[in-house]
Amino acid sequence: MAISDCCHQAMWMTNLFREIGFHVLPITICGDNQGSIFIGSNPVQEKWTKHIDICYHYIRECIEDNKVSVVFVPGNDNPADMFTKNLDRLKFVKFREQLGLTFGPTKNA
């Protein structure tokens, strides 16, 4: 469900950028759950997936249309943890660099 919701947000941003004239490449979505990646990438209907609401299968359509790609990121190496968990300094610095976040110049008051 989280990957599908992420896909909805990514498509909204993609459409916004296209409307204002930017060319947008396919977006890569990282997930740490191999089961959800498999369900999103394979149009197979299994007995244990029939309870998933059809709106959460939107990601399949986006993958087939080459709008997004979904890749696996191990839980310990997931840079999104920076936004959702308290991290030690080493992981914080590592994820900050992976995301390309930098500190801007400070203004002296």
Number of domains in the chain: 1
Query: What domain range includes position 24?
Result: 2-75
Q: Is residue 89 part of a domain?
A: no
- The answer to whether residue 107 sits within a structural domain is no
Note the pLDDT tens digit of each residue in 12-30.
Answer: 999 999 999 999 898 888 8
Residue 48 reports pLDDT greater than 60: no
How many whole angstroms separate alpha carbon 35 and alpha carbon 19? 34
pLDDT bracket for residue 47 (50, 70, 90): low
3-state helix, strand, coil in the chain (%, to 5): 50, 10, 40
pTM to 2 decimals?
0.64
Q: Which carries the bigger pLDDT value, residue 5 or residue 39? A: 5
Q: Does pLDDT of 77 surpass 90? A: no
The answer to whether residue 67 is domain-embedded is: yes
Is 61 part of any domain? yes
